[in-house]
């Protein structure tokens, strides 16, 4: 292959630029060229792309977000739209596509390959860390560290006032972000979508710690189906304990910011490997992390599985260490 395309799709996450940089520089070092489709699959449909070279992706490894933009495209779900996009790709001389995103993006990429014959490779990028076949997705480590910084600062006020703080983190269908944040942040409790009926246990746990004289009470809440769910949780727990509380919704602050070393490293390996897979004629793969190594995982396996369960041992650990 002499000319490839790349796009970032779905929610943005810190480290996507590092993946973009690695993919482009790997491609150019092998005598090929790369274009970036703007705003995800939307740019593929329109079409709207820019030429990417070594200088274009210079000085972006430390930047959050994605310089080529991202979105969720309803139009790309139409098979006829995908056929037209594939025909335009071929007319533009673009022979393969790298997709950075989550499992929804990979379903679109796999359909594009199977229906239209376009070689594709995937790079998992989601702060929810809920893609099957990889231990780490780009953006997760930075999002956890962003939440930790907020919790460390909130704790000062919690200790000073004795109030409970319910800190809502992202995670609509996955509690991975909440669980890692709770353990690393020394939270007094954590509520996640995968573990139901935990509020009663949380109340008793907090009641016991308050009776022992503990003043700092940080409870991490995954947002679940709708953002703002921590308000109802806080109200119920505050009423049961007759104890003052506040709610902090971190929201999209978790998506931005400078990527951590971990996210830069994982993204750089994934970007380079995805580019090499296509250049060497391998298609329909995702570059995942398994056992501390970057490996190729068939996209058919990725999309055929449900979101992986987070490590619920961390729930027990957070409760055990809550004090």
Which strands, in side-by-side order, build the sheet including 3-8? 49-52, 33-37, 3-8, 96-101, 120-124, 285-290, 293-298
CB 250, CB 142: distance < 8 Å: no
Catalytic choice (12, 103, 128, 130): 128
Closest CA to 251 of 214, 222, 292, 285: 222
Alpha carbon distance 216, 219 (integer Å): 10
Asked if residues 127 and 139 have their Cβ atoms less than 8 Å apart, the reply is yes
Residue 54: active-site member: no
Contact 23, 54 (CB under 8 A): no
Which candidate, 312, 310, 308, places its Cα nearest to that of 103? 308
Residue 74 burial (10 A CB sphere; 0-12, 13-18, 19+)? exposed
Residue the block writes with tokens 């699959």: 41
Give the residue numbers annotated as catalytic, written as ranges: 128
């Amino acid at each position: 292959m002499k000319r490839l395309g790349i796009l970032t799709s779905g929610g943005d996450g810190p480290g996507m630029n590092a993946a973009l940089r690695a993919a482009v520089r790997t491609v150019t070092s092998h005598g090929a060229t790369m274009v970036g489709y703007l705003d995800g699959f939307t740019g593929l449909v329109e079409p709207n792309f820019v030429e990417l070279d070594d200088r274009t992706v210079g000085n972006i490894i430390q930047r959050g977000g994605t310089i080529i933009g991202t979105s969720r495209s309803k139009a790309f779900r139409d098979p006829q739209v995908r056929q037209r996009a594939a025909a335009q790709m071929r007319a533009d001389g673009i022979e393969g596509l790298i997709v950075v995103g989550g499992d929804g993006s990979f379903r679109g990429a796999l359909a594009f390959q199977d229906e239209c014959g376009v070689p594709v490779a995937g790079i998992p990028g989601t702060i929810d860390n809920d893609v099957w076949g990889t231990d780490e997705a780009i953006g997760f480590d930075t999002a956890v560290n962003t939440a930790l910084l907020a919790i460390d600062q909130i704790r000062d006020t919690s200790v000073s006032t004795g109030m409970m703080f319910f800190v809502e983190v992202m995670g609509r269908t996955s509690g991975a972000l909440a669980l890692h944040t709770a353990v690393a942040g020394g939270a007094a409790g954590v509520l996640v979508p995968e573990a139901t009926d935990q509020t009663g246990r949380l109340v008793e746990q907090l009641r016991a710690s308050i009776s022992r004289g503990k003043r700092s009470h940080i409870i991490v809440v995954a947002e679940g189906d709708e953002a703002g769910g921590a308000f109802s949780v806080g109200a119920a727990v505050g009423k049961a304990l007759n104890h003052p509380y506040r709610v902090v919704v971190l929201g999209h602050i978790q998506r931005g910011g400078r990527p951590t070393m971990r996210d830069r490293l994982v993204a750089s390996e994934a970007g380079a490997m995805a580019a090499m897979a296509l250049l060497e004629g391998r298609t329909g793969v995702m570059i995942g992390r398994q056992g501390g190594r970057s490996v190729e995982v068939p996209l058919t396996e990725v999309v055929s599985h449900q979101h992986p369960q987070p490590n619920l041992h961390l729930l027990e650990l957070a409760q055990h260490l809550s004090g």
